[in-house]
Structure 1
Amino acid sequence: MKPNRLFHRAALLLLALVLVLVSGGASAVEPAATHAKHYVCPPCAQPCDAKVHDKPGTCPLCGMKLVEQQEAAAPAPPRKKVAILIFNGVEIIDYTGPYEVFGGANYDVFTVAETRAPVTTAMGMTVVPKHAFADAPQADVVVVPGGGVTEAQHSAPTLAWVKQQSTRVQQLMSVCNGAFILANAGLLDGLSATTTYINLEKFQAAFPKVKVVDDQRFVDNGRIITTAGLAAGIDGALHVVSKLDGLGLAQRVALAGEYDWRPRASFVRAALADRLIPQVDVDALGDWDIASTEGGTDRWELVLEGRSALSATQLMTQLGQGLAAGRWTRLEPASASAASPLRSDWRFSGRKGEPWTGVLTLQPRPGAAGQYTAKLAIARAG
């Protein structure tokens, strides 16, 4: 065989060998090039940010949905900013409830006040605001809580800041009687709004241009949302999250916080029947404690236990006068035999004119002179 043919055949054999080696090598290194996926929670400024998980799911510490590590390392979109107003006398749950919700949604949450001086909340908690009005970054959401709002609702700098923010934010939300601050800023005229149940009448009298709502936990006017008292601020914050980033995220935040969120829940404190009971000053009649109080929108039962220097007849007379002052009408007993100094029957009208009935009873405690159990039961008639 000629040398050039031998050389050509050797070259072909060498080429085939190289192809085999390359093919085999590729298959040999392929498994090593395939890395197992790792998962982390989105940055939440907690120690769990440094933990790496082998499987998808939720972070056992912060409850956020785990994402692939490579995805988490990619530049994240800007976090929504939430400014929460605080002031001397601010109600704790009014601002911390929404703070927890928005923080759980991975929003950038911060407190803001007129100055950076420490604030004393209701019940004596001391809080240092993160920002003053002058240096606070522009927020996407502003929360105006309630509490002791006497000064805040008439503070010119506070009202000016809230009014300014109302034109710049995506959502402005008040909690409890924080609605008084919004109303004093002129932001609720012509809108529907709510507040804590004990302030509804006062709110309507102070701001006749506002349509006061007493049967909703929060009222959404689009950009401006008002909520009822205290824990209703959590519902309002979850509603804001659902508007901005979807119902699924809001539900995950509620579950992570072990909060039984029901967006269409019928429970509204202002709608409960005990609001129809006149405010009787029982402390002026002795030393009394509430033994139980329960009911719903169509009925209520209130039981008091206490001691008094008054006789049972005198107590019934005084209690009856208190009910009559609340525009209740006492019913005459059906017969003389049915008359009892320790029971009285009443009728009155509800907030919309519907008929109600009530029964007041007083029972002396056996073997305990001057000690009594009083029970008032009311129910919607018909």
Structure 2
Amino acid sequence: MCKNPAMRRHRVAVLALNHFAPLDFGIPGQVFWAAETPDGEKLYEVVTCSEGARPVRCSAGYSVQPDHDLDVLDTADTVLVPGIHAGRVLKEGTLSAGLRAALRDRPRVMSICTGAFVLAAAGLLDGRPATTHWREAPRFAELFPEVRLDADVLFVDDGDVLTSAGVAAGMDLCLHVIRRDHGSEVANRTARRCVMPPWREGGQAQYVERPLPHQPTGGTGATREWMLAHLDRPLDLNALAAHARMSVRTFTRRFREETGVSPARWLTAQRVQHARHLLETTGLGVEEVARRSGFGTAVSLRQHLHAAVGVAPLAYRHTFRRV
């Protein structure tokens, strides 16, 4: 029960289909459940449903029995579709009329991994940007050419419809939604509770198949931690490579292998995130936020923040700061 009678939990309804991916299925219940106010109030309620409340079987060889049928979607603030084995479930992109109708006209719909096939088959992604697991992207594009597929990102937020790439990217998407709903402080506490990074930008590249460094040690992780601790300083490529005790060429290659992006893009993303955090949680002036996040000037901060989230610093603070 909610301790505060005036506080209504946001209801997330997870739609379970046969051949669902078990980790994808468990992500919303874990991540949204961990989102709390400073006083320990749960902010989300997660319920599970299936057609007719029938048992559904997963790819790991067991079944689950949802508590609800599709009627519970009428009470949901967000509907989430976990990944499925699309080749087995959505042959030729078909979907039952009941599921099509059930998914339409919802306040917010999300998918993890190949759950995007379900949203596309229901017609929810026509003409919209979306993503899915990089390995399934060619088949998705063939089945749903009207969707603006971007297979190179972790997740896509198109307002009332959000899609993520494979597996762990579903956690990034859920955390992004918590940040969007309740701000950085709640999202960061949730991330700590789930022992996961507090933020990876949606535009970060998916981890497609690529050779990894042969050495188990000597990576760029320690330098990334150092970068995070010194975001307010000038951090050029030579200084980063020197910290990692590598040549610039080796450092750049290793960094991209380990993160999927260049050092410059990763650093900019972290600075934007830190600036967002300061705008949400402090009353610092824009110039000071720019200095502390490493952008130097308010003009530079404004340009980078607008490129990332489409608004200026003061507009962002007004919209997202939780008083």
TM interval, shorter chain, is 0.5 to 0.7
The correspondence for 2:29, drawn from 96, 99, 115, is 99
Alignment of structure 1 residues 159-170 onto 2, 5 Å: 159-162=100-103, 164=104, 167-169=105-107
Matching residue of 2:143: 206
The correspondence for 1:245, drawn from 172, 177, 182, is 182
What secondary structure sits across from 1:146 in the alignment? coil
Matching residue of 1:304: none
Q: Quick one: which amino acid aligns to residue 207 of structure 1?
A: F
Matching residue of 2:19: 89
1:299 positional shift: 6.5
1:213 positional shift: 0.9
Distance 1:197 1:296 in 2: 22
Distance 1:296 1:178 in 2: 32
Alignment of structure 1 residues 12-23 onto 2, 5 Å: none
| Change over 3 Å in CA distance of 1:135–1:189 after alignment to 2 | closer
Q: Quick one: which amino acid aligns to residue 151 of structure 1?
A: V
Distance 2:169 2:257 in 1: 23
What secondary structure sits across from 1:173 in the alignment? strand
Matching residue of 2:122: 185
TM-score scaled by length of structure 1: 0.50
1:209 positional shift: 1.3
Q: Quick one: which amino acid aligns to residue 181 of structure 1?
A: V
1:136 positional shift: 4.9
- Structure possessing the higher radius of gyration over alpha carbons: 1
What secondary structure sits across from 1:273 in the alignment? coil
Distance 2:138 2:77 in 1: 32
Unaligned runs of 5+ in 2: 36-41, 220-252, 259-323
The correspondence for 2:68, drawn from 131, 138, 151, is 131
Identity of aligned residues (%): 34
Q: State whether residues 193 and 212 of structure 1, in contact with CA within 8 Å, keep that contact through their aligned partners in structure 2.
A: yes
Q: Which has a greater percent of helix?
A: 2
TM-score scaled by length of structure 2: 0.59
| Change over 3 Å in CA distance of 1:185–1:75 after alignment to 2 | same
Distance 1:123 1:91 in 2: 8
What secondary structure sits across from 2:75 in the alignment? coil
For residues 340-368 of structure 1, the C-alpha deviation after alignment (integer angstroms, 9 at most, x for no partner) is xxxxxxxxxxxxxxxxxxxxxxxxxxxxx
Distance 2:146 2:75 in 1: 30
Q: CA-atom RMSD, angstroms? A: 2.9
Distance 1:240 1:173 in 2: 10
Q: State whether residues 55 and 64 of structure 2, in contact with CA within 8 Å, keep that contact through their aligned partners in structure 1.
A: yes
What secondary structure sits across from 2:114 in the alignment? helix
Alignment of structure 1 residues 232-311 onto 2, 5 Å: 232-264=169-201, 268-273=205-210
Matching residue of 1:306: none
Q: Quick one: which amino acid aligns to residue 248 of structure 1?
A: E
Q: State whether residues 109 and 162 of structure 2, in contact with CA within 8 Å, keep that contact through their aligned partners in structure 1.
A: yes
| Change over 3 Å in CA distance of 1:296–1:266 after alignment to 2 | farther
Q: Quick one: which amino acid aligns to residue 99 of structure 2?
A: T
1:226 aligned onto 2:163 = yes
| Change over 3 Å in CA distance of 1:257–1:119 after alignment to 2 | same
Q: Which has a greater percent of strand?
A: 1
Aligned length: 211
The correspondence for 1:108, drawn from 39, 42, 45, is 45
Q: Quick one: which amino acid aligns to residue 249 of structure 1?
A: V
The correspondence for 1:155, drawn from 91, 95, 103, is 95
For residues 252-289 of structure 1, the C-alpha deviation after alignment (integer angstroms, 9 at most, x for no partner) is 11101111232327753355536xxxxxxxxxxxxxxx
Q: State whether residues 272 and 296 of structure 1, in contact with CA within 8 Å, keep that contact through their aligned partners in structure 2.
A: no
For residues 119-160 of structure 1, the C-alpha deviation after alignment (integer angstroms, 9 at most, x for no partner) is 111102321111001355510011111122333663312222
Distance 2:202 2:156 in 1: 13
Q: State whether residues 176 and 199 of structure 2, in contact with CA within 8 Å, keep that contact through their aligned partners in structure 1.
A: no
Q: Quick one: which amino acid aligns to residue 101 of structure 1?
A: V
Q: State whether residues 194 and 219 of structure 1, in contact with CA within 8 Å, keep that contact through their aligned partners in structure 2.
A: yes
Q: State whether residues 273 and 297 of structure 1, in contact with CA within 8 Å, keep that contact through their aligned partners in structure 2.
A: no
Distance 1:297 1:85 in 2: 38
The structure, 1 or 2, with the larger RCO (C-alpha pairs under 8 Å, 6+ apart) is 2
